[in-house]
Amino acid sequence: MKTHLLFNLFATFLLADGLNIEDSAGQFFSSGHTNNWAVLVCTSRFWFNYRHVANTLSVYRSVKRLGIPDSHIVLMLADDMACNHRNPKPATVFSHKNMELNVYGDDVEVDYRGYEVTVENFLRVLTGRLPPSTPRSKRLLSDDRSNILIYLTGHGGNGFLKFQDSEEISNVELADAFEQMWQKRRYNELLFIIDTCQGASMYERFYSPNLMALASSQVGEDSLSHQPDLAIGVHLMDRYTFYLLEFLEDIHPASKANMNDLFKVCPKSQCVSTPGHRTDLFLRDPGSVLITDFFGSVRKVEITTEAIDLTEPIKEVEERPANGDVHKEMHSYVDQLPVSEIIHQKPKQKDWHPPDGFILGLWTLILLVFFQTYGIKHLRHIF
C-alpha cells in the first residue's frame, strides 16, 4: 500500500515536472536567438576625439558586464587614448569627470586598432569576407540565430560617417552590407546604434528585415558632447552615450526592461539633439524585446532528467620511450657571433629567375639586330 502511494506521488511529480519543462522549452524558443554578438566601432583618430573612444568603451563595458564574452565582441578603436602620451593617467579612459569611472578597465581586448579600422575592414567583418588567415578574434562568426548589436560613433554628416579623417562610409553602403548579412543568414535580429552628428541619416536607407536602429540626432542636428575634464583637457563623452551608459548601468542580466525604455533615453532636454529610432523593419513589437536580448548574453539552461554514466575512468596514454635511442647525440647551443664564420661566409645562392623587363627587351633587340644583319643561313659560317 505504502509503495503504491509512493509510486503515485512520484508519477504525478514527474508529470508536473514534465509540463514545466515543456513550458520552459517553449519560452526558450520564443525569443528566436541563441547567441549574442557585438560589433563596437570607434572611427575617430587624434587626441581631441577622446570622447569617441570613451563612448565605445562604455558600451563595451556594459556589454561585457551583461554577459557577452570577449570572443563574441569585435572591438574596433581607431586610435589609442589610454596609452597616448598626452594622457595624464596612462592605461585609463574615463567617462565621468573627476576620474570616477575607468571604462578601459584591466581586462580589455581590442581586436582592430589603429590603422586597421578602415571602411573595408568594417564591411569585411560584417559580411564575413575576410582573408583566410584572419584569426578568430577578428571575425564575426554569427549565424542565423545570432542577435547582433552594432554601435558606431565618430564624426558624421548627412548620409555618411567619417573613418579616421580620411575616408567615409555612406548609408547606402551600410544598408547593402546589412542586406548581404541578411541574405547570408548572418543575423537573427540586429540592433544598430549610432552616435554621430545627423545620425538618423545613416539608418534611412535600411531595407533588410529584422533591423532596429537608434540614433543620437536627426538630420540637420549635431550631437553634442557632454562634459570636459579639466585635468585631462578634452571632452570625455558624448551626451547620448553618457545617458545610455547611465541607463545600462541599471540593467542586470535578469532585467525585464524592454526597448521602449531604450527609446526614452536622453530626451531633448538632456541631449539638446533629438534622438531618433526606426522599428518598421523589425518584426516583433519593440515592447516585447528585452534589452538583454541585444546587450546581454542570457544563456537559457535546459534541464534534462537523464543520467549520464561517468564511472569509466579516463585512461591516460603513456608515451612509450622510443627504443633503440640509447645513444643520443649531444646537442649544443649555437655560437651567437661566430666572427670567423661570418667573415668567410659564402654569399647565399639566390634563386635564379628568368630575366624580365628591361633586360629581356634589350637582349631581344640585340638578337633581332644580329639576325637582321647576318641572316639565318649565314649563321653556320660563324658558329
Partner 1 sequence: MAAYRCSSPVWLFILCSFSVFIIAGSEETPVAQEQHANVPDNPQTAAETAEQTEKETGGAEERRWEGTEVRDAATQKQAEPVVLQSTPRPKDDFQEELVVRPLHSGDIYASFQFRTLWETDFMRGNKVSHYRLFPKSLGQVISKFSVRELHISFTQGYWRTMQWGQPYLPSPPGAELWVWFQDSVTDVDATWKELTNVLSGIFCASLNFIDSTNTVQPSASFKPLGIGNVTDHRFLRYATLPREIVCTENLTPWKKLLPCGSKAGLAVLLKSEKLFHSSFHSQAVHIRPVCQDWQCKTTSWELRQTLNVVFDLHNSGQGKREWSLFKMFSRTLTEACPLASSSKIYIDITDNPEGEHFELSPATSLLSQAMVLGDRRTFSVYDLTQQDTFGSVRSLNLLIRWKSTEGDMLRPLLHAERYVAGYGLQTGEIHTLMYNNHPYRSFPVLLLDSVPWYLRLYIHTLTVTSKGKDNKPSYIHYQPSKDRVRPHLLEMLVQLPPNSVTEVTVQFERALLKWTEYTPDPNHGFYVGSSVISSLVPSTVAMDTNSTQERPLFSSFFPCKEESSYFVRVYTEPLLVNLPTPDFSMPYNVICLTCTVVAVGYGSLYNLLTRSFQIEEPSPGLAKRIANVIRKMRGVPPL
Which phi and psi angles does 199 have, rounded to 5°? -65, -30
334 binds partner 1 (CB under 8 A): yes
The residue within the footprint of partner 1, chosen from 165, 176, 179, 246 (CB under 8 A), is 165
Angle (deg, nearest 10), helices 171-183 and 119-127: 20
Cα angle for residues 304, 305, 310 (degrees, 5° grid)? 95
Q: Say which residue the cell 633581332 belongs to.
A: 368
Cell of 349: 645562392
166 binds partner 1 (CB under 8 A): yes
For the annotated catalytic residues, the residue numbers are: 155, 197
Closest approach of partner 1 to the CB of residue 343, in Å? 5
| Interface of this chain with partner 1, residues 199 to 218, rule: CB under 8 A | none
356 binds partner 1 (CB under 8 A): no
133 binds partner 1 (CB under 8 A): yes
Give whichever of 130 and 290 is closer to partner 1, judged by the CB atom: 130
Give whichever of 105 and 286 is closer to partner 1, judged by the CB atom: 105
x-or-dash string of contact with partner 1, 26-45, rule CB under 8 A: -------------------x
Q: What is the DSSP letter of 164?
A: T
354 binds partner 1 (CB under 8 A): no
Distances in whole angstroms, Cα of residue 282 to Cα of each of 240, 269, 279, 327:
23, 28, 5, 73
164 binds partner 1 (CB under 8 A): yes
For residues 84, 86, 91, 95, the Cα torsion angle rounded to the nearest 10 degrees is -110
Q: What is the DSSP letter of 318?
A: P
222 binds partner 1 (CB under 8 A): no
Half-sphere exposure of 380 (CA within 13 A, CB side): 1
Contacts with partner 1, residue ranges (CB under 8 A): 45-46, 80, 82-83, 89-92, 104-116, 131, 133-138, 164-166, 312-313, 315-316, 318, 328-339, 342-343, 345, 347-348
